[in-house]
């Protein structure tokens, strides 16, 4: 059984704890909610009590010093993923790192090179890559039912610009790394890597992007029209427009349904997502399988793909003029 430690006792840490509890309650016993580490012992203890975690640690260092930890889930802001994941790897502990994997591509390359060199699993917790809907969407798009795909439109927008991790340059803020990464991954899971990108944004006074638009061209001739806002609210759907109709994917952040429309604008097929616990169980199961089999990466999000997405986001940030203080 894999003993999981969670590093950082924030919002997504709580969701991960709930996911593991639900997995265990549903008979999946290959992972255990073993540890929670916070910069404050009182916070870690409260988290452990509320979320059914066995051990609480008052510092990240204390948790990585525990020889019984088999895997750490990094649940801190983007700015700190590199430092915190490296701390675990240096103590011989594999990592499941929240998206965005790091703040920039250079950090990703260094972290993954270290993990590979030391034969430790490192993988990015971008949940949509691991979910069964990924294949179901591609099956629908490439079944021929909408003809040849020509345009992909996708966005993820929620009014969360007030949050520290979005506002602050020192936390690698902005909407791109936090939410823009989802429409980008959505388009890439269908079309592969883009051949070109043009991006614009509006942002806050600290220079962080809050409303972004990214235009992609793909090798297969598809155009991607992607956007993300930390100020507006939207349905956050994805759409694939083809020569014989179009597909709507409800919620690119956790796809719940696929709807297929013909040239008469009639709904001809609707496919629901398989029943899920929280939707995060798929990344956990694949990470556990990878650890059990001695893999260094997860097939759903290989290292090369994580580095590619980070390089793409570096390019986009250059176009947007978004620079984090630790990069200057």
* Site residues, ligand NAP (CB under 6 A): 8-13, 38-39, 43, 75-78, 80, 98-99, 125, 127, 165, 171, 178
Q: State both tokens at 59.
A: 């510092």
Cβ–Cβ under 8 Å, residues 257 and 272 = yes
Contacts with 40 (C-beta within 8 Å, 6 or more apart), sequence order:
58
Smallest separation (angstroms) from ligand NAP to the CB of 166:
9
Smallest separation (angstroms) from ligand NAP to the CB of 83:
9
Smallest separation (angstroms) from ligand NAP to the CB of 80:
5
Smallest separation (angstroms) from ligand NAP to the CB of 169:
12
Cβ–Cβ under 8 Å, residues 202 and 211 = yes
Q: How many residues are present in the chain?
A: 328
Is 302 in a helix, a strand, or coil? coil
User: Which is nearer to ligand NAP, 181 or 307 (by Cβ)?
Assistant: 181
User: For strand 55-57 and strand 31-37, is the pairing parallel, antiparallel, or unpaired?
Assistant: parallel
How many alpha carbons lie under 13 Å from residue 85 in its C-beta half-sphere?
A: 35
Smallest separation (angstroms) from ligand NAP to the CB of 165:
5
Kind and range of the H or E run holding 239: strand 238-242
Measured between alpha carbons, how far is residue 231 from residues 158, 160, 161 in Å? 6, 6, 6
In whole angstroms, what is the distance from residue 307 CA to residue 208 CA? 22
User: Which is nearer to ligand NAP, 182 or 218 (by Cβ)?
Assistant: 182
Q: State both tokens at 274.
A: 């398989």
Smallest separation (angstroms) from ligand NAP to the CB of 312:
17
Instruction: Give the residue at shortest CB distance from ligand NAP.
Output: 10
User: Which is nearer to ligand NAP, 77 or 94 (by Cβ)?
Assistant: 77
User: Which is nearer to ligand NAP, 137 or 141 (by Cβ)?
Assistant: 137
Smallest separation (angstroms) from ligand NAP to the CB of 81:
7
User: Which is nearer to ligand NAP, 8 or 242 (by Cβ)?
Assistant: 8
In whole angstroms, what is the distance from residue 189 CA to residue 221 CA? 15
User: Which is nearer to ligand NAP, 76 or 167 (by Cβ)?
Assistant: 76
User: Which is nearer to ligand NAP, 9 or 296 (by Cβ)?
Assistant: 9
Cβ–Cβ under 8 Å, residues 126 and 300 = no
User: Which is nearer to ligand NAP, 38 or 199 (by Cβ)?
Assistant: 38
User: Which is nearer to ligand NAP, 74 or 146 (by Cβ)?
Assistant: 74
Kind and range of the H or E run holding 284: helix 281-293
Smallest separation (angstroms) from ligand NAP to the CB of 123:
13
Smallest separation (angstroms) from ligand NAP to the CB of 222:
26
Long-range contacts of residues 108-117, Cβ cutoff 8 Å, at least 24 apart: 108/306, 108/307, 108/310, 109/307, 110/82, 111/82, 111/85, 111/86, 112/303, 112/306, 112/307, 114/86, 114/89, 115/89, 115/296, 116/296, 116/303
């Amino acid at each position: 059984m894999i003993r999981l430690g969670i590093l950082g006792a924030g919002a997504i840490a709580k969701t991960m704890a709930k996911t593991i509890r639900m997995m265990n309650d549903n008979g999946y016993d290959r992972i255990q909610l073993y540890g929670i580490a916070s910069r404050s012992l009182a916070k870690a203890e409260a988290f452990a009590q509320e979320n059914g975690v066995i051990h609480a640690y008052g510092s990240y260092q204390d948790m990585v010093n525990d020889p019984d930890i088999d895997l750490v889930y990094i649940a801190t802001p983007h700015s700190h993923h590199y430092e915190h994941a490296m701390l675990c790897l240096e103590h011989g502990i594999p990592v499941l790192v929240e998206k965005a994997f790091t703040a920039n591509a250079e950090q990703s390359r260094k972290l993954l090179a270290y993990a590979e060199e030391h034969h430790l699993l490192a993988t990015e917790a971008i949940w949509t890559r691991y979910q069964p809907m990924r294949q179901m969407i591609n099956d629908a798009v490439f079944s021929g039912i909408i003809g040849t795909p020509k345009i992909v439109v996708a966005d993820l927008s929620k009014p969360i610009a007030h949050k520290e991790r979005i506002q602050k340059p020192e936390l690698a803020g902005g909407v791109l790394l936090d939410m823009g990464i989802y429409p980008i991954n959505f388009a890439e899971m269908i079309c592969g890597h883009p051949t070109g990108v043009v991006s614009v944004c509006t942002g806050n006074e600290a220079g962080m992007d809050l409303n972004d638009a990214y235009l992609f061209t793909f090798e297969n001739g598809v155009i991607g029209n992607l956007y993300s806002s930390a100020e507006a609210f939207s349905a956050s759907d994805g759409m694939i427009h083809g020569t014989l109709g179009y597909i709507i994917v409800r919620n690119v952040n956790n796809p719940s349904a696929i709807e297929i429309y013909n040239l008469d604008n009639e709904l001809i097929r609707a496919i629901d997502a398989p029943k899920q616990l929280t939707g995060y169980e798929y990344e956990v199961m694949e990470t556990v399988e990878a650890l059990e089999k001695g893999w260094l990466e997860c097939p759903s999000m290989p290292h090369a793909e994580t580095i590619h997405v980070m390089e793409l986001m570096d390019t986009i940030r250059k176009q947007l003029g978004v620079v984090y203080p630790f990069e200057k």
